[in-house]
Amino acid sequence: MEMTPDLQTSKAKSQPQTIGIRFLRYWIGSFNGIQVFIFPVLLLNWLEALELVHVVTELLTFKIHYLPLTIFMFLAVYVLFIIAKYYVSAPHTKAEFKHFIIEFHKYLLICLLCFAILFLLAIFLKYFYGILISEKTIASVAARGLGIFAILYCHLSHSWTEPWQKLGHSYSNAYARVRIFARHHPYRFHAFNLVHLFFILLFCKAFVNWQEFFYYPIFHALGIDIKFNLVSLSNTLALSVNVILVTLAALCSSLFFIPLVWLTAQITRFLHPIKPRTYNKEPTIEHINE
């Protein structure tokens, strides 16, 4: 069963995109942002290392009572980021946008409950069997895993529905067609996902080297040194400022990651197994003799 979109069957025309929307789709949308979860060292390029170590040490020792609030703030920022990513990635109706927010929070709650169970299991094994499992390791792996999975899911979903949405189909209609395609062509579906994942990992790794050998020499030549200084955790306001600064560091990383995101998008669109089908029909010209 062939699920190639047909240009002649589209019911609506896609809306024109402004330069600002296109820019946001590569800066906030697509898979941009995943690089800081795969390679957290990228954040160190925008934060003062000594201040970061000092704040983290404070947070994990005598200011540990701020840790739950810190987790909540970063989680809130991440939720807003995912919602913004969905909002700028593809056309959608208000009902679809509300449905996405509800579904995202539902799955987020399930993930948080699973992480809580892991923490309880680690404590149980520690006290009753003497098996030591670092809670910090669980928290780090869980945070990175959740961050990577949600971004990948949003990006791959948009990549699959994009051919139909460009023809004017709604997101729900396009998503239903993708499920049909995956059911009838499982090999092509999973192969494209793996290829897509390969290019994402490849260019994320390339971005680490690109910053070192391309951006740094340019910044050094121009005398530019962009580093955010975190502040000591004296109160809740200082904690909020640090969360904002880390968020700005992640956004700066995403800003300079745009060229590689654009390149990945062009490659994956070329390799996409679903492409709009066009018909080159010659128009009929009738000559009327007066």
pLDDT value of residue 226: 80
Per-residue pLDDT tens over the stretch 227-275 = 888 988 888 999 999 999 999 999 999 999 999 999 998 998 888 888 7
Residue 288 belongs to some domain of the structure: no
Residue 289 belongs to some domain of the structure: no
Question: Is the predicted pLDDT of residue 278 greater than 60, yes or no?
Answer: no
Q: Coil, strand or helix: which one is 66?
A: helix
Per-residue pLDDT tens over the stretch 131-184 = 777 767 777 788 888 889 889 988 898 888 888 887 777 788 888 888 898 899
Give the DSSP H/E element, type plus range, for residue 236.
helix 236-271
Q: Place 111 in a pLDDT band, splitting at 50, 70 and 90.
A: confident
pLDDT value of residue 2: 47
- Token representation of residue 215: 């951006």
Per-residue pLDDT tens over the stretch 91-106 = 778 888 888 888 888 8
pLDDT value of residue 17: 60
Provide the domain count of the chain: 1
Residue 189 belongs to some domain of the structure: yes
Q: Is residue 235 left, alpha or beta, with left meaning phi > 0 and alpha meaning psi from -120 to 50?
A: beta
Task: Compute CA distances 31 → 81, 159, 236, 273, whole Å.
Answer: 12, 10, 32, 19
**More confident: 43 or 287:** 43
Could you report how far apart the first and last alpha carbons of the chain are, in Å?
50
Cβ 154 vs Cβ 89: under 8 Å: yes
Phi and psi at 198, nearest 5°, equal -60, -45
Q: Which amino acid is at 280?
A: N
Residue 42 belongs to some domain of the structure: yes
Residue 287 belongs to some domain of the structure: no
Residue 279 belongs to some domain of the structure: no
User: Which of 53-62, 79-88, 90-99 is the least confident region?
Assistant: 90-99
Highest averaged pLDDT of the listed ranges 24-33, 51-60, 197-206: 197-206
Domain, as residue range, for 199: 7-271
**More confident: 189 or 2:** 189
Q: How far apart are CA 203 and CA 166, in angstroms?
A: 26
pLDDT value of residue 287: 38
Average confidence (pLDDT) over 60-80: 88
Question: Is the predicted pLDDT of residue 194 greater than 90, yes or no?
Answer: yes
pTM over 0.85: no
pLDDT value of residue 77: 93
Question: Is the predicted pLDDT of residue 202 greater than 90, yes or no?
Answer: yes
pLDDT value of residue 5: 53
Residue 253 belongs to some domain of the structure: yes
Residue 285 belongs to some domain of the structure: no
pLDDT value of residue 277: 63
Question: Is the predicted pLDDT of residue 281 greater than 50, yes or no?
Answer: no
Q: Coil, strand or helix: which one is 200?
A: helix
Cβ 189 vs Cβ 182: under 8 Å: yes
Q: Which amino acid is at 61?
A: T
